[in-house]
């Protein structure tokens, strides 16, 4: 339950668009529109959020976002909820004028130096406009979302708000709320109609991220991988003293997923792992919390070739936060701001090929439905 003085901010990326389906760069271009899948995702998101006590919806003016908000509001309105609605231009997508409309696969070929900066040094990524003006798109986006946070946390203090925006903008909103700079622009994943949530306690200036890129309402156990089905996906599971029924629920959610390696820290984690993974876990090596760092290279950095491998990491919250800090290169304060919950899964995708690790989801698997024919 939300504390009375706490500000709760939900973030939703727009539904799948025509440019998403065509694998074209969107940026601030307003040509893309929602596909049938995108409209369905918006309605499913409305059903998912209808009982969350949202008091206002603020959307980007770009039509793929505003149309998502309208479909969502119709679904929530069918539940008898009355919600304030407004549009804010600061929530529009990052400006990528030279790339907008181009096929994504063409951009690295036509703009190799720009693309390298975009992926590896986003704060240094620049574009030269027709009037010889130089634009730093990621820096400009971060400046814009900081101004938006200043407005929102004053105008809607103590409220529950939904922002409907874009992948790049939501990643910048999350990063700035956690005190992270442009270097972490690619450290978070936000899928179409993925739901995230930030909490701002009234007695603290530090945000808490307790939900990232939840796509369970779209029929997914984990969000689809942004970088393709290769590399290593780390599945972080905080341990606690729980009853067998609770562990059984998580085991059912993980059924059918092949776990290629384990890092199990401590006796409580060993007990939980033996119930979650009884067959492949028999030969797993268990380590103490004090020596957990010494096996990182052996377990976390396993070679995957061109295949996707899953590594399950079970242990105390402190160990998992340390793992996130090391993998993502984030500060201690940012790691402490990630509210990982027992019996829910937080995942990090390591794509390889020099691409930086990505925090794919936080606390997603608690209420995942049983899926027929699921493939992770």
Superfamily of 228-367 according to CATH: Phosphoglycerate mutase-like (3.40.50.1240)
- Nearest-angstrom CA–CA distance, 177 and 145: 9
pLDDT in tens, 84-103: 899 999 999 999 999 999 99
DSSP 47-82: HHHTTS---EEEE-SSHHHHHHHHHHHHHHHTTT--
Provide CB contacts within 8 A for 187, sequence distance 6+. 171, 175, 180, 328, 329, 330, 356, 357, 358, 359
pLDDT in tens, 233-287: 999 999 877 655 667 777 777 877 888 888 888 888 888 888 887 665 555 666 6
Of 94, 72, 89, the closest CA to residue 162 belongs to 72
Copy the structure tokens of residue 328: 């993502």
Query: For residue 375, is pLDDT > 70?
Result: no
Query: For residue 295, is pLDDT > 60?
Result: no
CA-based torsion, 84, 90, 92, 93: positive or negative: negative
Q: Interior CA angle at 167 toward 218 and 330, to 5°?
A: 105
- Percentage of the chain with pLDDT > 90? 60
Model pLDDT, residue 292: 59
What is the phi-psi region of residue 138: left when phi exceeds 0, alpha when psi lies from -120 to 50, beta otherwise? alpha
pLDDT in tens, 162-204: 999 999 999 999 999 999 999 999 999 999 999 999 999 987 6
Query: For residue 153, is pLDDT > 90?
Result: yes
pLDDT in tens, 328-353: 999 999 999 999 988 889 999 998 77
Model pLDDT, residue 80: 59
User: Catalytic site residues?
Assistant: 14, 93
Model pLDDT, residue 296: 56
Of 58, 359, 7, the closest CA to residue 184 belongs to 359
**8 Å CB contact between 347 and 236:** yes
pTM: 0.91
Largest distance between two CA atoms of the chain? 66
Helix (H/G/I), strand (E/B), else coil: 24? strand
Please state which of the ranges 144-158, 238-252, 347-361 shows the lowest mean pLDDT.
238-252
CATH class belonging to 7-217 = alpha beta
- Nearest-angstrom CA–CA distance, 145 and 71: 25
In the chain, domain spans: 7-217, 228-367
Average pLDDT, the chain: 87
Tell me whether the CATH fold assigned to 7-217 matches the one assigned to 228-367.
Answer: yes
User: In terms of residues, how long is the chain?
Assistant: 376
Which is more confidently placed, 283 or 72? 72
**What's the rounded mean pLDDT across residues 35-39?**
98
């Amino acid at each position: 339950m939300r504390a009375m003085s706490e500000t709760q901010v939900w973030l939703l990326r727009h539904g799948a668009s025509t440019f998403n389906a065509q694998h074209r760069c969107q940026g601030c271009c307003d040509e893309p529109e929602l596909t049938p899948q995108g409209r369905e995702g918006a309605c499913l998101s409305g059903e998912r959020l209808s009982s969350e006590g949202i008091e206002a919806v603020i959307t980007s003016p770009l039509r793929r976002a505003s149309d998502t908000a309208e479909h969502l509001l119709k679904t929530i309105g069918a539940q008898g909820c009355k919600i304030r609605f407004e549009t804010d231009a600061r929530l529009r997508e990052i400006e990528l004028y030279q790339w907008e409309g181009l096929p994504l696969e063409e951009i690295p070929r036509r703009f190799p130096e720009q693309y390298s900066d975009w992926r590896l040094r986003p704060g240094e990524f620049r574009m030269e406009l027709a009037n010889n003006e130089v634009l730093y798109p990621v820096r400009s986006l971060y400046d814009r979302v900081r101004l938006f946070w200043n407005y929102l946390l004053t105008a809607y203090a103590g409220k529950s708000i939904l922002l409907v925006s874009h992948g790049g903008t939501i990643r910048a909103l999350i990063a700035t709320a956690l005190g992270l700079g442009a270097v972490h622009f690619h450290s978070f994943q936000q899928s179409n109609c993925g739901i995230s949530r930030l909490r701002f306690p009234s007695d603290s200036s530090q945000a808490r991220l307790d939900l990232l890129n939840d796509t369970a309402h779209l029929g997914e156990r984990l969000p689809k991988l942004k970088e393709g089905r290769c590399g290593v996906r780390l599945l972080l599971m905080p341990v606690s003293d729980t009853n067998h029924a609770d562990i059984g629920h998580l085991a059912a959610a993980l059924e059918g997923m092949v776990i290629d390696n384990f890092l199990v820290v401590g006796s409580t984690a060993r007990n939980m792992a033996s119930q979650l993974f009884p067959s492949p876990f028999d030969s797993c090596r268990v380590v103490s919390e004090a020596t957990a760092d010494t096996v990182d290279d052996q377990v976390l950095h396993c070679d995957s070739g061109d295949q996707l491998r899953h590594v399950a990491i079970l242990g105390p919250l402190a160990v998992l936060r340390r793992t996130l800090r090391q993998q993502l290169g984030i500060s201690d304060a940012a790691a402490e701001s990630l509210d990982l919950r027992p019996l829910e899964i937080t995942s990090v995708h390591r794509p390889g090929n020099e691409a930086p690790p990505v925090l794919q989801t936080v606390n997603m698997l608690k209420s995942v439905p049983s899926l027929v024919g699921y493939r992770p």
